[in-house]
Structure 1
């Protein structure tokens, strides 16, 4: 899966580790960075603090990461790997249009659960959006994920609608992330209603493409 990251902009490391000890050092740096982001927010985290809490001199951090932005980029790559794993692990099971409809709910719920379990991801994603280069990489990854879903499900859609369907998927995947960020910023009761509403919209759009009409309940 790490090789697949090249499609999202390549590795953020200054020097690629060849020894297990070096890879473990990078993992320690990233783990501490994510914990600090969750506790203090990205702006308050310093390279010196990351080095101190990850058990090594600051030179060992700069050896792999030229700055904090590079650490954020690497954390984003790890996050992308995890999200891709969720998608790749479920879309091959789709064999009918109904499976595809259910998959949109399942994928969203898995993603939402992951975000709730790791709230520091919210701060990470906000930082990604604030950085032009990283935001562009995030959009590229969103497009890649939407294309994966399109290739598996386009057989349920009339060929003349493929272009519109692909564009709709790209929009839905992008809005899924935005919806979850919003859901994490409000009360759990309101979050549940927002999530339910978004899932209803996605199911309605998908039903239109798969069956030629919107659900009767709408």
Structure 2
């Protein structure tokens, strides 16, 4: 994500790195069409030939940049990571107190959940990521990176003797957040809202323990 000092490697999946605006536009169109097809048909049903046809060019123009469908999915994942990091960056940028940190956990999760609700094809992308070992491993490291960023922004509010446990808890909660969101998007919107609300209460209770030294009286 821009400004967080870490390169998500968005060009690493490309066979050929674009140098001209027209080439970058072509890649953007390929990715846009791919994401649309993923949401419409699912990952497995999408073909390189179909991507080429709907993105307005010969299939050779797709293979020119992407060696296979997995490379397209990998780059879509890179862009998903960039968007997620922006959400986290904005959520933690104004943290100046433990109370701010508590509120940030709610805000961050709400924004992320609403973005996914509005872009249902992302659900299929997330499932594809978990089904690919290399991408799943990258996703774990990305989760660690994001939780570490939240830790760095909030460790000052945590007693020193509790900081190691706090870091581990953040990593676990960030990982569970992704799983909760995937589940919430698979059930009805009404049930999804209930699951999201319950998960936020659990996160807030854990955060309160570290920030305030006690769990809330009620959840």
> TM-score with structure 1 length normalisation?
0.96
User: How many residues are paired up?
Assistant: 218
Give the distance between the partners of 1:10 and 1:142, measured in 2 at CA: 20
Residue deviations 1:43-72 (CA, integer Å, cap 9, x gap): 000000000000011111011100000000
Q: Are 1:73 and 2:50 an aligned pair?
A: no
Given that 1:46 and 1:68 are in contact with CA atoms closer than 8 Å, whether structure 2 keeps it comes out as: yes
SS at match of 2:129: helix
Give the distance between the partners of 1:49 and 1:5, measured in 2 at CA: 34
> TM-score with structure 2 length normalisation?
0.96
Match of 1:171 in 2: 172
Match of 2:53 in 1: 52
Given that 1:205 and 1:214 are in contact with CA atoms closer than 8 Å, whether structure 2 keeps it comes out as: yes
CA shift, 1:5, in A, is 6.0
Give the distance between the partners of 2:171 and 2:30, measured in 1 at CA: 33
SS at match of 1:6: coil
Residue deviations 1:25-56 (CA, integer Å, cap 9, x gap): 00000000000000000000000000000001
CA shift, 1:187, in A, is 1.3
Residues 79 and 49 (structure 1), Cα distance of their counterparts in 2 relative to 1, 3 Å cut: same
Given that 1:14 and 1:64 are in contact with CA atoms closer than 8 Å, whether structure 2 keeps it comes out as: yes
Q: Are 1:13 and 2:17 an aligned pair?
A: no
CA shift, 1:188, in A, is 1.7
Give the distance between the partners of 1:141 and 1:42, measured in 2 at CA: 22
More helix by percentage: 1
Give the distance between the partners of 1:159 and 1:56, measured in 2 at CA: 58
Match of 1:138 in 2: 139
Given that 1:183 and 1:191 are in contact with CA atoms closer than 8 Å, whether structure 2 keeps it comes out as: yes
Residues 8 and 167 (structure 1), Cα distance of their counterparts in 2 relative to 1, 3 Å cut: farther
Q: Are 1:215 and 2:193 an aligned pair?
A: no
Match of 2:115 in 1: 114
Give the distance between the partners of 2:2 and 2:102, measured in 1 at CA: 29
**RMSD of Structure 2 on Structure 1 (CA):** 1.5
Give the distance between the partners of 1:165 and 1:31, measured in 2 at CA: 39
CA shift, 1:17, in A, is 0.5
